[in-house]
Chains A and B, each alone.
Chain A
């Protein structure tokens, strides 16, 4: 059972990722889909940062008295990823607001019905 013990951070990551993906594809409400997308993004942060940690090390700020540091490279990548994620979320929310004003609803099937009715004309 060493697979379970040595890789437990990956199990949690997979769980979060799958839940986020399920919310993204299974729910029809656009705002809920955006929440699912955010959960998916945060699970990816965990995916990158968990391997960077060294037990017995410390944060990657060089100071006297510490010899082992956690790996700083994934931290840099994920800092960028977090900010890009919030940029994506902001644009998605702006689109949802405009869709609401144009269609009157943010449920996916109602929007498709409204759009399908328009195309039949």
Chain B
């Protein structure tokens, strides 16, 4: 995945950058399956490799295919990015190690959801139960966000009846 992202950064032909993005989304979906996040992997594969790539290709068709050569060497952004990386690396040492059952993420609310969800909601898929029932408000908000994005794109890209736009 790292190779894909580096290639994407260096590519100047935008079409190949978009195709690499689709490839990157598929890799991410595979990694998510390896991490046992099956719902998320399905969504990432469908949305990232499907819809995102289609929209990017559509926009690319409307916009034009090659990136211009950068005028000045990007030293400041590179230093900034590496500095942020160093700060993040310093901060991540406080985080729990990979797959630690005693990590706080596993000991507060999650065991209750895993134990109670089938009996309280009758739905074995705990992710769906939490999404639709325990945290239903958040899903309502998210649906409204998707709706707003659709409305926003309609407002931006709608053609008026008169031809001069």
The answer to A–B direct touch (Cβ < 8 A) is yes
**Does B110 lie within 8 Å of A3, measured CB to CB?**
no
Q: How far is the CB of B134 from chain A (nearest CB, A)?
A: 9
**Does B157 lie within 8 Å of A16, measured CB to CB?**
no
User: Bound complex: CA of A68 vs CA of B156, how far in Å?
Assistant: 48
Would A14 and B77 be within 8 Å (CB), given that A19-B9, A82-B47, A89-B55 are in contact? no
The contact string, 1 if C-beta is below 8 Å from chain B, for chain A 91-121, is: 1011111101100001101100000000000
Hey, which chain B residues are within 8 Å of A45, CB to CB? 28, 32, 40, 44
User: Bound complex: CA of A102 vs CA of B7, how far in Å?
Assistant: 31
Hey, which chain A residues are within 8 Å of B51, CB to CB? 86
Q: Give the number of residues in B that approach A within 8 Å (Cβ atoms).
A: 86
Would you call B30 an interface residue if the criterion is a C-beta within 8 Å of the partner chain's C-beta atoms? no
8 Å CB interface, A46-86 against B: 46, 49-55, 57-63, 69-76, 78-80, 82-86
User: Bound complex: CA of A73 vs CA of B93, how far in Å?
Assistant: 23
Identify whether the interface residues of A are mostly helix, strand, loop, or mixed.
helix
Q: Give the number of residues in A that approach B within 8 Å (Cβ atoms).
A: 81
Q: A72-B126, A109-B71 are in contact. List 20 more A-B contacts (CB 8 A).
A: A6-B98, A7-B92, A11-B89, A15-B2, A17-B85, A20-B5, A25-B81, A29-B67, A42-B48, A49-B40, A51-B98, A53-B37, A54-B101, A60-B36, A60-B114, A78-B40, A88-B149, A90-B150, A93-B58, A94-B157
Closest CB pairs A-B (n = 9): A6-B97, A87-B149, A26-B77, A22-B81, A18-B85, A26-B74, A93-B59, A29-B67, A70-B36
A sample of 20 inter-chain contacts (CB < 8 A) reads A14-B92, A18-B82, A19-B81, A21-B81, A38-B52, A39-B24, A45-B40, A52-B35, A52-B37, A53-B98, A57-B36, A58-B36, A60-B125, A62-B125, A76-B138, A86-B55, A90-B149, A91-B156, A94-B59, A97-B63
